[in-house]
Structure 1
Amino acid sequence: MKGIRGRYGQMKVLETELDSTVKLLDTTIFNKDNFYNALGRQQDFIIRPLLGPQKIRVNPVNNSLYIIESTNNKQHFTNSEDVYEHLLKHEFTKKNYVIQTVPANNQSVLHYHRFTLHRISSSSNWKVVHHSITGGNELGKIRHALPFLKFNKVVRNAANLLGNYYLACNTIVIEILQNKMGETWITDTILHERNSKWSQFHSLYSCKALRSYIPHTELCTKESLGKFLQSLRQVVLKPCVGQQGKGIVKVTKLDDNTFEIHENKQIININDFAKLYDYIHNHYLSKNDYIVQQFIVIGKIDDRLFDVRVMSQLDETEWIITGVLVKVATKGFFISNRASQLLTLEEALIWSNSKISFDKCVSLINEICGKASVVLEKNCKGITIIGFDIAIDSNGALWIIEGNYAPSTAMFYKFKYNEMYETIYKYINKNKKRFSPHSD
């Protein structure tokens, strides 16, 4: 089905066999006719892009008053033509959108349940690996966590239906609305493909031997951000899909009511958590799905942070390490994507006065990246190279920050000891020949 990855196609798939006890939002493609039909029903509706977290709420109060609520503002209009033009000119940032009708009696909404389901491969069973509840008070959340077993069956059925249409997707987020009358709707489904950090986290976390090397991670919501800052003080926010460090933000809790936001070299302070979340939502979460992650206090060289890039490549049926070097961040940056210097691992450990020995570090890198490569290959069939970013914290412990399936080799070419570059390209060419459709 064309557009299966988007909200419209996914809802159409779910209409076929979904459990009748759970309802779906009436979903149509946004166009002029569908928009005016929705206005004519005099019922709230939501406009979303086919893909992405943006949400625009339209409230047609009557034939002469229309309220539009979006990320940045709330506006009133007196005629439908102005509403339509406003959406096209000032709200829409993507090519295609859908219209979704808000359930009747939406004032009785009790909670939104958000389930993440993951499977190791397209032939594996789906498992609920994360569940969160938003809305309502804490007592209400405890009471209404009871339908979890019922929802577990529903979301696994939905994941099976969607997973059969998109075999390469192994992580799905499903949002369910629950109202005070006991009615439930599936309000959204998001497919996290292999390049999603949320999907990769669950792939790696499925291996018990790797869990102690993985930073604590959740999807970023108001609740998860508050919980992380309460217990960790420093967190990092990352777009689920992104490259070269774009959009990565560090948030530090300075005291009970003061927070520091650090992106690139820019640092701003915000008083009050509600204002912090509004800023984060308006600048980041409304544009992309994000994870919130434990911030690792990384070792430093001359007051500059550093991490290790490890190249892991497939050699026939075995993963081997073909390159290891250290990226030293530019001063003032908390990530090393803008490296000011490249070093050998041995040089970095000596110059940073690291608490881990070179031999032990090499041994752990080989062990961790070897196991992680095997796990990720199951989840991402066809990959032959992974560029791991490994952090060494101030206590000498190692952490898997990320695995990149299309890693740049430029840093190895520029490195003063570029024998590793030759080795890397030897295996790139070997795998090209091996997996070429014209090879014997």
Structure 2
Amino acid sequence: MTITRGRFGHYKLLKNTKRLSPHVPDIHVYSESVLTSLLNNLQPLFIRPLLGPELIRIIKSGETYNLVVNDNEPIVTDRKSIVPCLIKQLHPKKTYIIQVNPTISYTPCRTFYTLQRKREGANWKTVHKTVQDTECTPRYMNFLIHWKLNRFLLAVAGKLGDAFVGCHTMVLEIGYAEGAFFLYDTILHERNSKWSQYQSFIRSRTIRPFMPHTDLCTKSTLKAFLRNYGKAIIKPAVGQQGKGIVKITIMPSGDFEVQKRNNLSTYKTFDALFQSIHSLHLSREDYIIQYYIALGIVDGCPFDVRVITQFDEEYGWIATGKLVKVAAPGYFITNRAQKLLAVEEVLSVPDSHIEQVCINGSIALSAQLNNLSIIGFDIGVEEGGKVWVIEANHVPSIAMFHNFGNNEMHTKITQFIGKRRRSLSENRKEEG
């Protein structure tokens, strides 16, 4: 059976499963006629795209309706004005669904549960829990409800995992209210997701000590990271080249400073900060939040180390290239590098230590993901010499190695790429 990607396919599959159906809301493809018929009910409605975190809630209040767009201030309207109001909010080229939620007397507590499996066919485990908002504290969940919820999470993961075999990490958003729970949302994190990558790394003893504290970005986690560390980085779960990465700092004055690229803005209160972050970032993409690594400095600018590892049938995982990238003036990340330097020119940390961290990381990732043959690691080194794995890219650019020095590293990298391709080609011929 072919399963449609995105929320509609997920919910349809789960709703057709008898033991899961009671905790799964009804779902419809959005149209004006379907919306009009559903407005006859008193149940809250969610309108979402097939993919992405965008959310519009429609809640009836007496004779009026509240439209809440991406958790902003409600738009109060009457029944006749709902569709014209929505037309202004919905993207004309996107397909949307309508989710019919249970009627409850108070706002449910929303919690994100992360589940992961080591490989295709392995058992799923609940590995992490992230609260949406600490101001909404879950009411007491008795042992029976907790047991049922855990069984439900594993069953949902199993069902979706069978349909999407390439997915090894997923996030299930659960609403809990009045002694019952229901599924709010499903987010599949595939191999290019930084959240999936992080979950793989922290399960490895050899790489865990080098991973900065990371979580899904919610109002609760943003507040906690700033309270505990004073600074934090938020970045899209799926993204490259530094796009969408934001640094947030609590200033001595108590204001909140936000830096994106080399642009700065400030906010007086946490609520104002979060409203801006949510509107500009969290409502558009799924984000993670990360401990801010105080990168070492070269000529007043932060730097990190790019390391290329490659898999070879003869040698296993090896490091084939490494360079220091120095950020441009005014930038806090090195994706916009002003210059490239040899590692030995900058670091007092032994090359072998950084290489071993990256090789261990490669082994951890390849144990979960098939057919990995090249990985680009970004390694942060703090002033005291502490080494951190910022992230790993499965499709790294090697152009910077071509532009550096005498191209020896670029030649070595391309030779191993060619060797890998020839090996795969020979294996396919033998199988054929």
Aligned in 2, Cα 1:261/1:419: closer, same or farther, shift over 3 Å? same
What is the count of residue pairs matched by the alignment?
426
> How far apart, CA to CA, are the structure 1 residues paired with 2:55 and 2:346?
46
Q: CA RMSD for the aligned pairs?
A: 2.2
> How far apart, CA to CA, are the structure 2 residues paired with 1:111 and 1:222?
13
Residue of structure 1 equivalent to 2:305:
308
TM-superposed deviation, 1:60: 4.9
Contact 2:130 2:215 in 1 (8 A): no
TM-superposed deviation, 1:55: 0.4
TM-superposed deviation, 1:222: 0.5
**Quick one: which of 340, 346, 358 aligns to 1:369?**
358
Task: Tell me the alpha carbon deviations over residues 381-425 of structure 1, each in whole angstroms, 9 at most, x when there is no partner.
Answer: 112110000111111011111110111111011112311111111
Instruction: Provide the secondary structure at the position in 2 that maps to 1:312.
Output: strand
Instruction: Provide the secondary structure at the position in 1 that maps to 2:345.
Output: helix
Contact 1:30 1:99 in 2 (8 A): yes
Contact 1:10 1:189 in 2 (8 A): yes
Residue of structure 2 equivalent to 1:337:
335
Instruction: Provide the secondary structure at the position in 2 that maps to 1:380.
Output: coil
Partner amino acid, structure 1, of 2:400: M
Contact 1:44 1:102 in 2 (8 A): yes
> How far apart, CA to CA, are the structure 2 residues paired with 1:136 and 1:246?
29
Residue of structure 1 equivalent to 2:402:
413
TM-superposed deviation, 1:141: 3.9
Contact 2:46 2:57 in 1 (8 A): yes
Q: What TM-score comes out, normalization by structure 1 length?
A: 0.91
Q: What TM-score comes out, normalization by structure 2 length?
A: 0.92
**Quick one: which of 201, 208, 212 aligns to 1:211?**
208
> How far apart, CA to CA, are the structure 1 residues paired with 2:142 and 2:353?
40
Residue of structure 2 equivalent to 1:353:
none
Contact 2:126 2:154 in 1 (8 A): yes
Residue of structure 2 equivalent to 1:56:
56
Residue of structure 2 equivalent to 1:227:
224
> How far apart, CA to CA, are the structure 1 residues paired with 2:365 and 2:19?
32
Residue of structure 2 equivalent to 1:69:
68
Contact 1:173 1:192 in 2 (8 A): yes
Aligned in 2, Cα 1:435/1:164: closer, same or farther, shift over 3 Å? same
> How far apart, CA to CA, are the structure 1 residues paired with 2:68 and 2:90?
10
Pairs within 5 Å for 1:18-57? 19=19, 22-57=22-57
Residue of structure 2 equivalent to 1:427:
416
> Taking every aligned residue pair, what percent have the same amino acid on both sides?
37
Pairs within 5 Å for 1:354-365? 356-357=348-349, 360=350, 362-365=351-354
Residue of structure 2 equivalent to 1:200:
197
Contact 2:139 2:177 in 1 (8 A): no
Unaligned runs of 5+ in 2: none
TM-superposed deviation, 1:233: 0.7
Task: Tell me the alpha carbon deviations over residues 12-52 of structure 1, each in whole angstroms, 9 at most, x when there is no partner.
Answer: 12123363585111111112332222223354311001111
> How far apart, CA to CA, are the structure 1 residues paired with 2:218 and 2:411?
44
> How far apart, CA to CA, are the structure 1 residues paired with 2:233 and 2:142?
29
Partner amino acid, structure 1, of 2:421: K
Partner amino acid, structure 1, of 2:90: E
Partner amino acid, structure 1, of 2:320: T
Residue of structure 1 equivalent to 2:115:
117
Aligned in 2, Cα 1:321/1:223: closer, same or farther, shift over 3 Å? same
Q: Which range moves more in the overlay, 43-52 or 64-73?
A: 64-73
